[in-house]
Structure 1
Amino acid sequence: MPASNFSLWWEALRVPRKAWLFQGGHVDPFDLRRADYVSTVERWFDRWLRGADNGVDREPAVKIEHAPDQWSEEATWPAPSARPVTWWPRPGGLGPAPVRDPAQATFQDDPDLSRFDWAKEGPSEHRLLFASEPLTSAARLSGTSRVTVRVMSSTPVARLGVAVVDYGPATIRDYVDITKPGGIRNLTTSSCWGQSGPADSACYLDTETATTSVEHEIVATGWADLGHHATLRRGVPLEPDRFYTMTFELSPMDHIVSEGHRLGLVIGGTDWWEFLEPGQRPRLTVDLTRTSLTLPTAR
Structure 2
Amino acid sequence: MKTVTEFPRKVVEFPDMGIVMPDGCRLSARVWMPEDATDDPVPAILEHLPYRKRDGTIFRDQLTHPYFAGHGYASIRVDMRGNGDSEGLMDDEYSEQELQDACDVIAWAAAQPWCNGNVGMMGISWGGFNCLQVAAKQPPALKAVISLCSTVDRYADDIHYKGGCLLLENFGWASTMLSYSSRPPDPAIAGGNRWRDLWLNRLENQSFLLPLWLSHQHRDAYWKRGSICEDFSAVKAAVLSIGGWHDGYRNTISNLVTNIESPVKGIVGPWIHKYPHYAGPKPAIGFLQEALRWWDRWLKGAETGVEADPAYRAYVMDSVRPARWHPERPGRWVAEQTWPSANIKLETIELIPDGAKPAIVASPQTCGLAGGEYFPFTFGPELPGDQRPDDALSVCFDQPELGEAIDIVGAPELDVRLASDRPQANIAVRLCDVHPDGASELISYGVLNLTHRNSHEFPQALVPGQTVSARVVLDQCAYRVPAGHKLRIAVSTAYWPMIWPSPEPVRLDLSTATLRLPRRPLARGDEVSFPEPEGATPWATETIRQANSERHVDRDEKTGLVRLSITDDFGEVRDIDHGLANGSVVREIWTIHPDDPLSATGATHWTQTLSRNEWSVRTETFAEMRSDAANFIVSARIEAYEGEKLIFERDFEQAIPRSRV
Aligned ranges for residues 252-263 of structure 1 at < 5 Å?
Answer: 252-263=476-487
- 2:398 aligned with 1:151, yes or no? no
- 2:494 aligned with 1:270, yes or no? yes
- Aligned partner letter, 1:12: N
1:27 to 268, 274, 282: 274
2:514 matched residue in structure 1: 292
| Distance apart, 1:22 and its partner CA | 1.6
Distance across 1 between alignment mates of 2:366 and 2:358: 24
Distance across 1 between alignment mates of 2:290 and 2:477: 23
Scaled by the length of structure 1, the TM-score of the pair is 0.73
| Distance apart, 1:57 and its partner CA | 2.8
- Could you report, residue by residue, the CA deviation over 1:76-120 in whole angstroms, capped at 9, with x for unpaired residues? 345531111111214xxxxxxxx1323222132323220737941
- 2:314 aligned with 1:47, yes or no? no
Identity of aligned residues (%): 20
- 2:283 aligned with 1:58, yes or no? no
Distance across 1 between alignment mates of 2:331 and 2:306: 21
Any gaps of 5 or more consecutive residues in structure 1?
91-98, 171-213
Aligned ranges for residues 1-299 of structure 1 at < 5 Å?
Answer: 1=149, 2-32=249-279, 36-67=286-317, 68=329, 70-76=331-337, 77=339, 79-90=341-352, 99-114=353-368, 116=370, 119-120=387-388, 124=392, 126-168=393-435, 215-287=439-511, 290-299=512-521
- Could you report, residue by residue, the CA deviation over 1:127-162 in whole angstroms, capped at 9, with x for unpaired residues? 111111111121111112211122222222110001
The 3 A distance-change label for structure 1 pair 69 and 145 is closer
Scaled by the length of structure 2, the TM-score of the pair is 0.35
- Aligned partner letter, 1:102: A
1:201 matched residue in structure 2: none
CA contact (8 A) 1:165 1:263 kept: yes
Larger Rg: 2
- Aligned partner letter, 2:358: Q
The 3 A distance-change label for structure 1 pair 115 and 70 is same
- Aligned partner letter, 2:272: G
Distance across 2 between alignment mates of 1:242 and 1:62: 42
- Could you report, residue by residue, the CA deviation over 1:62-86 in whole angstroms, capped at 9, with x for unpaired residues? 4432242543241434553111111
- Aligned partner letter, 2:520: A
The 3 A distance-change label for structure 1 pair 23 and 148 is same
The 3 A distance-change label for structure 1 pair 226 and 60 is closer
- Could you report, residue by residue, the CA deviation over 1:225-277 in whole angstroms, capped at 9, with x for unpaired residues? 11233433322332222222211321111222112211111111121134532
**Structure possessing the higher relative contact order (Cα contacts under 8 Å, 6 or more residues apart):** 1
Q: In structure 2, the residue corresponding to 1:18 is in which secondary structure?
A: strand
| Distance apart, 1:163 and its partner CA | 1.0
- Aligned partner letter, 1:25: I
- Aligned partner letter, 2:426: R
Distance across 2 between alignment mates of 1:244 and 1:35: 46
Q: In structure 1, the residue corresponding to 2:267 is in which secondary structure?
A: strand
| Distance apart, 1:169 and its partner CA | 7.0
CA contact (8 A) 1:63 1:71 kept: no
| Distance apart, 1:61 and its partner CA | 4.3
Provide runs of 4+ in structure 1 moved above 6 Å: none
Distance across 1 between alignment mates of 2:499 and 2:453: 20
Distance across 1 between alignment mates of 2:257 and 2:416: 28
CA contact (8 A) 2:361 2:491 kept: no
The 3 A distance-change label for structure 1 pair 268 and 34 is closer
Distance across 2 between alignment mates of 1:78 and 1:256: 19
CA contact (8 A) 2:391 2:490 kept: no
Any gaps of 5 or more consecutive residues in structure 2?
1-148, 150-248, 318-328, 372-385, 522-661
Distance across 2 between alignment mates of 1:130 and 1:238: 25
- Could you report, residue by residue, the CA deviation over 1:19-56 in whole angstroms, capped at 9, with x for unpaired residues? 32122221221114666222111122111111111323
Aligned length: 245
CA contact (8 A) 1:161 1:222 kept: yes
Distance across 2 between alignment mates of 1:254 and 1:105: 29
Q: In structure 2, the residue corresponding to 1:38 is in which secondary structure?
A: helix
